[in-house]
Amino acid sequence: KNEVEQSPQNLTAQEGEFITINCSYSVGISALHWLQQHPGGGIVSLFMLSSGKKKHGRLIATINIQEKHSSLHITASHPRDSAVYICAYMNRDDKIIFGKGTRLHILP
């Protein structure tokens, strides 16, 4: 069964804090995406991972294929990072499965 669990569902933190959002899945995958959905509704693709780690600015994404787990980290968080973060993967049957998202709120 294709499942994906994101944690936490909601996260409120102070500006400057280090943020970690987790994504666990239950089946073998070929690629995992991290998406950011802004309060206005727009969606931006942050990372696509098939192994290892990627970094872009203050954002870092990691994936452990054996443990079926990925994390998104935000260093020196800022109020403009407030958004919903969604992980999604394509399984080996080429089906795209989305997580429910983590709602992040960074307080100034």
Binding residues for other proteins, per CB under 8 A?
30-31, 33, 41-45, 48, 50, 86, 88, 90, 94-96, 98-101
Q: What's at 1, amino acid-wise? A: K
| Degrees, nearest 5: CA angle 26-23-69 | 60
The residue (of 76 and 96) whose beta carbon lies closer to other proteins is 96
The residue (of 35 and 74) whose beta carbon lies closer to other proteins is 35
Nearest to 37 by CA among 27, 26, 45, 28: 45
The residue (of 43 and 107) whose beta carbon lies closer to other proteins is 43
